[in-house]
Amino acid sequence: MKKITILGATGTIGINTLDVIKRHSDEFEVVALTGHRQIDRLAALCFEWSPRYAVMADSDAAAQLEQRLKNTPVQVLSGTSSLSQVASLPEVDIVMAAIVGAAGLLPTLAAAQAGKRVLLANKEALVMSGQLFMDAVREHGAELLPIDSEHNAVFQCMPPSAAGISRILLTASGGPFRSYPIEQLHDVTPDQACAHPNWNMGRKISVDSATMMNKGLEIIEACWLFSAPPEQIDVVLHPQSVIHSMVEYVDGSVLAQLGNPDMRTPIAYGLAWPDRIDSGVPRLNLIDIARLDFEAVDFERFPCLKLASEAMLAGGTTSTILNAANEVAVEAFLQERLRFTAIPKVIETTLSQLTGRMANSLEVILEDDARARELAFEAVKTDN
Ligand code: NAD
Ligand code: MG
């Protein structure tokens, strides 16, 4: 039995992970489930899965959850340190890192430092801490497996030696606004931005997909995961989301991974690697799909993509600053305090006010994250 902690169990990735595990209940045992404030959802999961631990990041929510679970053996914990605790329990083999945003950094890092198999969905953690995170993986013998569908695809298309690679091609659907009239983007609502054509995801990553900051974060993620310079990574628009990404080799070969757009495929791959298990995803029907389209990215429509590439080239904490400003801007947009088209402006203003430094310690990373958030909050206010 492989024992697993699911960080962010109440989210889209968390729920999909449990759906895969349910199909293999003789192979995986759920030790800990975590959530932020969704008491009903975490309580229901605890009744269904009987984990040893349930963690709510929010202490009031934890107190209420404890009340709900008082007649069960589930131990309820609260706060960030408990998230890190359940990510590094000696008995745990696998940690699914599926908290959204910077809140996932410390527990995901704790899992790496405890030498776990880390299934990385929480791309923001890697974008924020880059080298520090990869060093922790190496030093502590952790096994880092990408769950982001593009990176999972690249991983699947790479031989262990990773020799002879000329380019990594990340595919992007272009989100809900790929061909929306550019002059009307200004007035789009959070619900429109979250209505992704191919994927059903949490609201933050949905907005990131609409601005294409998601692809920008994924370029940074790919640089770290595959030790690739940003010049080696290209983005190609592929509206059907059937090819999840590709690797081009010096001999002209291009390997692609295809599948229905369903996160249970990369999740199952990460859980079972190097084996394969059933994920519950329906078989890909190429005849029904009939065609695959590709287009170049329009950088004018998606300024966030350029901001992210530049941040990666600048190095150090610049991508920490980019990520923090983006989180603040997206939150403000979701709360209808900021226009969609002002998201890149807030990020650009923040980046112009704070210079990245060497990201050589967690303290420096967290300090720049906090400072960027303050500046981004101000930029949001000024924009209104
Ligand atoms: P979601 O919003 O559905 O779920 C987020 C989870 O994080 C929830 O369990 C929530 O309770 C928890 N959380 C939020 N704030 C927290 C905090 N402050 N402290 C502790 N826990 C907190 O998001 P999602 O779509 O499941 O995405 C999760 C992560 O996976 C993100 O980093 C996203 O970029 C990445 N990812 C998601 C998809 C997808 O298809 N959904 C694909 C690739 C990568
Ligand atoms: Mg992705």
Tell me the CATH number at 53: 3.40.50.720
- Which ligand gives the minimal distance to the CA of 201? 1
Residue 262: count other Cβ atoms within 10 Å of its Cβ: 21
Q: Alpha-carbon distance 185 to 82, whole Å? A: 41
Regarding whether 93 and 183 lie in a shared domain, the answer is no
Q: Is residue 75 part of a domain?
A: yes
Of all protein residues, the one whose alpha carbon is nearest to atom 30 of ligand 1 is 121
Q: Alpha-carbon distance 379 to 370, whole Å? A: 14
Regarding whether 129 and 10 lie in a shared domain, the answer is yes
Contact 21, 28 (CB under 8 A): yes
Regarding whether 88 and 9 lie in a shared domain, the answer is yes
Regarding whether 164 and 290 lie in a shared domain, the answer is yes
Rounded to a whole number of angstroms, the distance between the first and last alpha carbons of the chain is 54
Query: Which of 146, 164, 189 is where one domain is finished?
Result: 146
Interacting residues of 37 by C-beta distance below 8 A, sequence separation 6+: 56, 57, 58, 61
Regarding whether 169 and 127 lie in a shared domain, the answer is no
What's the pLDDT tens digit per position in 62-99?
999 999 999 999 999 999 999 999 999 999 999 999 99
Regarding whether 113 and 250 lie in a shared domain, the answer is no
Question: What is the per-residue pLDDT for 383?
Answer: 79
What average pLDDT score do residues 260-280 get?
Answer: 98
Contact 284, 258 (CB under 8 A): yes
Regarding whether 182 and 229 lie in a shared domain, the answer is yes
- Dihedral pair phi/psi, residue 328, rounded to 5°: -65, -45
How far is Cα of residue 337 from the mean position of the Cα atoms in its chain? 24
Q: Is residue 27 part of a domain?
A: yes
CA proximity to 197, closest of 237, 155, 152, 170: 237
Question: What is the per-residue pLDDT for 125?
Answer: 98
What's the pLDDT tens digit per position in 197-222?
888 899 999 999 999 999 999 999 99
Task: Tell whether residue 218 is among the known ligand binding residues.
Answer: yes
Task: Tell whether residue 39 is among the known ligand binding residues.
Answer: no
Of all protein residues, the one whose alpha carbon is nearest to atom 21 of ligand 1 is 36
Task: Tell whether residue 205 is among the known ligand binding residues.
Answer: no
CA proximity to 52, closest of 31, 25, 26: 31
Q: Is residue 88 part of a domain?
A: yes
- For residue 165, pLDDT over 70 is answered with yes
Query: Tokens 């990773």 belong to which residue?
Result: 162
* CA max distance for the chain: 63
If one residue of 84, 170, 205, 330 were mutated to test the ligand 1 pocket, choosing by the most ligand atoms within 8 A of its CB, it would be 205
Contact 340, 186 (CB under 8 A): yes
- Strand ranges across the sheet with 165-172: 233-237, 165-172, 243-249, 254-258
Interacting residues of 84 by C-beta distance below 8 A, sequence separation 6+: 106, 107, 109, 110
Q: How confident is the model at residue 239 (pLDDT cuts 50, 70, 90)?
A: very high
Regarding whether 75 and 91 lie in a shared domain, the answer is yes
What average pLDDT score do residues 275-288 get?
Answer: 97
Structural domain boundaries enclosing 56: 2-146
Ligand 1: distance of its center to the CA of 237 in Å?
24
Regarding whether 208 and 331 lie in a shared domain, the answer is no
Q: Is residue 165 part of a domain?
A: yes
Pocket (CB within 6 angstroms of ligand 1): 8-14, 35-36, 38, 57, 98-100, 103, 121-124, 148, 199, 201-202, 204-205, 263
Q: Is residue 272 part of a domain?
A: no
Of all protein residues, the one whose alpha carbon is nearest to atom 32 of ligand 1 is 122
Question: What is the per-residue pLDDT for 379?
Answer: 97
Query: Which of 123, 146, 169 is where one domain is finished?
Result: 146
For the residues of 186-204, what is the DSSP string, one character each? GG--HHHHH--SS----HH
Query: Which of 299, 328, 347 is where one domain is finished?
Result: 299
CA proximity to 65, closest of 79, 77, 49, 80: 77
CATH number for 330: 1.10.1740.10
Average pLDDT, the chain: 97
Percent of the chain with pLDDT over 70: 100
What average pLDDT score do residues 89-116 get?
Answer: 98
- For residue 384, pLDDT over 70 is answered with no
Question: What is the per-residue pLDDT for 250?
Answer: 96
Contact 75, 82 (CB under 8 A): no
Report the domain count for the chain. 3
Query: What is the rounded (10 degree) CA torsion for 128, 129, 131, 135?
Result: -150
CA geometry: angle 89, 274, 26, nearest 5 deg: 60
Q: Is residue 325 part of a domain?
A: yes
Regarding whether 7 and 104 lie in a shared domain, the answer is yes
Regarding whether 128 and 65 lie in a shared domain, the answer is yes
Regarding whether 142 and 19 lie in a shared domain, the answer is yes
